[in-house]
A = this chain, B = another copy of it.
Amino acid sequence: MPEARLLLARYVVPVRPRGVVLEDHAVLMEGGKITSILPANEAVVRHPDATPERFDHHVLLPGLINMHTHSPMSLLRGYADDLALETWLRDHIWPAEQRWLSPEFVADGTRLAVAEMIRCGTTCFNDMYFFPDVTASVVEEVGLRACIGLPIIEFPTAWARDFEAYIAKALQVHDALRGCALVSTALAPHAAYTVTDDMLARVAELSATLELPVHIHLLEIAWEARHSLQEYGMGPLQRLLDVGLLNERLIAVHMAHLQDEDIRLLAESGVNVVHCPESNLKLASGFCRVADLLAAGVNVALGTDGAASNNDLDLLAELRTAALLAKGVAADPCALSAGEALELVTINAAQALGLGETLGSIEVGKQADLCAVDLDRPQSQPVHHVISQLVYAATSAQVSDVWVGGRRLLEGGALTALDLPQVIERAECWRQRMVG
């Protein structure tokens, strides 16, 4: 019989049903899954054999899901700031990657990213980078959950030399990871402007055959639509529509330049949008119309983007930015309420990954992916409204405990599956190497 554990929390915010806050409730975990949610006093009587643990000042909520990362780029955090996207990519990031990209870089960068993400309450992330096999192996070793993007881009990198090689390697990694409990895969064409029509068509075909999500940067900057019109005689959305990519498997990241008709098209086709507010602000890319997308019925989730452009992987802070910015952009202080915002990093994200049945809320039968946030801090007091405190005032330093599939990865603020001083030392080694 698997060990049963009973988490007794001051508040439980299950996300489903929407807006509910359970006071003094318990969550029972058995075999990595949530098997019961009930009042705390009843729980200790009904489950005397379960190991109890008290979270007297905490909110227990579903583990957060970061829907857009380039985790190894944590090693390039603050490497080049305050620059336009094109300059930043072409003159700084891509040259640095050309010089330093290797399995070792990816392993060390992913470890640093994963350390940061767990401490921020993240239990799953949707990644896009080179050497995805290495990222996947770090994720498995640590016990986190991830959807690993299989990169496809028109130029050669240390990972693959041409389109056929990108595809061959993608299929190889996909096969190797099949059946993993914690890691799934997605096809990850970089962007419409760095992938040809032929490549997009092949991605669409593979996505349909293998039932894989497609993770792509889309409509991030104004230049993109102009360039697409010149080059292809149509906008990027039309190109994706033509090759059959506009469907419920598409995870379209950024989407900071949307017309009303685009929003209708996205809603009709079931495309998932990932909003990256801090990256969009920092690179002055544009503003995603989050409130309009949600009103149209589009599934919207949230991502931090890579640490080279954000410059952190703090999804709780990103959630706060998203909740604030949506109101400013919509010119409506009622837009994206705290409760709606919380869905962007939980249930909506799970649905975008096709994992809405197993992740994204505290419901019986779902995976025990949870995090606890300690409200016993001045910035979270008094607790007039629990979800307001979570979204508008709590910081990631208040995340005390994190579980993935019932296994604890953060315990009272300390990482259980990573040697943090060593992770930081490796990051510092890379910095020294880069300054030469």
Q: Which of A374-418 contact B (CB under 8 A)?
A: 376, 378-379, 381-385, 388-389, 392-393, 395-397
The answer, among B74, B81, B393, for a CB contact under 8 Å with A77, is B393
The answer, among B313, B333, B396, for a CB contact under 8 Å with A282, is B333
**Residues B327 and A283 in contact, CB atoms below 8 Å apart:** yes
A420 contacts chain B at the CB level, 8 A cutoff: yes
A430 contacts chain B at the CB level, 8 A cutoff: yes
Q: Which of A311-341 contact B (CB under 8 A)?
A: 311-314, 317, 321, 323-325, 327-328, 330-335, 337-338
* A116 surroundings in chain B (CB, below 8 A): 378-379
**Residues B282 and A382 in contact, CB atoms below 8 Å apart:** no
A202 contacts chain B at the CB level, 8 A cutoff: no
Taken together as a complex, chains A and B put the C-alpha atoms of A376 and B311 apart, in Å, by 16
- Copies assembled: 2
* A325 surroundings in chain B (CB, below 8 A): 281, 325
* A383 surroundings in chain B (CB, below 8 A): 78, 428, 431
**Residues A378 and B333 in contact, CB atoms below 8 Å apart:** no
**Residues A115 and B395 in contact, CB atoms below 8 Å apart:** no
* A338 surroundings in chain B (CB, below 8 A): 81-82
A424 contacts chain B at the CB level, 8 A cutoff: yes
A427 contacts chain B at the CB level, 8 A cutoff: yes
* A333 surroundings in chain B (CB, below 8 A): 82-85, 88, 282-284
Known contacts A378-B112, A395-B395; decide if A337 and B81 are in contact (CB<8 Å): yes
Who on chain B is nearest to A324 by CB? B281
Who on chain B is nearest to A80 by CB? B384
A123 contacts chain B at the CB level, 8 A cutoff: no
**Residues A378 and B284 in contact, CB atoms below 8 Å apart:** no
Taken together as a complex, chains A and B put the C-alpha atoms of A385 and B435 apart, in Å, by 11
Who on chain B is nearest to A82 by CB? B337
How many residues from A make CB contacts under 8 Å with B?
68
* A284 surroundings in chain B (CB, below 8 A): 327-328, 330-333, 335
Cβ distance A287 to chain B, nearest Cβ, rounded Å: 7
A75 contacts chain B at the CB level, 8 A cutoff: yes
Give a binary string over A100-116; 1 marks a CB under 8 Å from any B CB, 0 the rest. 00000000000011011
**Residues A378 and B423 in contact, CB atoms below 8 Å apart:** yes
**Residues B278 and A430 in contact, CB atoms below 8 Å apart:** no
Cβ distance A359 to chain B, nearest Cβ, rounded Å: 24
Taken together as a complex, chains A and B put the C-alpha atoms of A383 and B332 apart, in Å, by 39
**Residues B424 and A282 in contact, CB atoms below 8 Å apart:** no
* A427 surroundings in chain B (CB, below 8 A): 381-382
A55 contacts chain B at the CB level, 8 A cutoff: no
Known contacts A81-B338, A392-B78; decide if A379 and B314 are in contact (CB<8 Å): yes
Taken together as a complex, chains A and B put the C-alpha atoms of A388 and B378 apart, in Å, by 27
* A327 surroundings in chain B (CB, below 8 A): 82, 281-284
A79 contacts chain B at the CB level, 8 A cutoff: yes
**Residues A424 and B392 in contact, CB atoms below 8 Å apart:** no
A119 contacts chain B at the CB level, 8 A cutoff: yes
Give a binary string over A257-296; 1 marks a CB under 8 Å from any B CB, 0 the rest. 0000000000000000000001011111001000000000
**Residues B378 and A119 in contact, CB atoms below 8 Å apart:** yes
Known contacts A328-B280, A430-B382; decide if A311 and B81 are in contact (CB<8 Å): no
Taken together as a complex, chains A and B put the C-alpha atoms of A85 and B283 apart, in Å, by 30
Taken together as a complex, chains A and B put the C-alpha atoms of A334 and B85 apart, in Å, by 10
Known contacts A85-B333, A395-B397; decide if A311 and B388 are in contact (CB<8 Å): yes
Top 7 nearest A-B pairs (CB, nearest first) are A397-B397, A382-B431, A78-B388, A281-B324, A116-B378, A311-B392, A281-B328
A-B contact pairs, 20 of them (CB 8 A): A75-B382, A77-B389, A81-B338, A81-B385, A81-B388, A82-B327, A85-B333, A116-B378, A283-B333, A284-B327, A284-B335, A311-B389, A311-B393, A312-B379, A314-B379, A321-B321, A325-B325, A381-B427, A382-B428, A396-B397
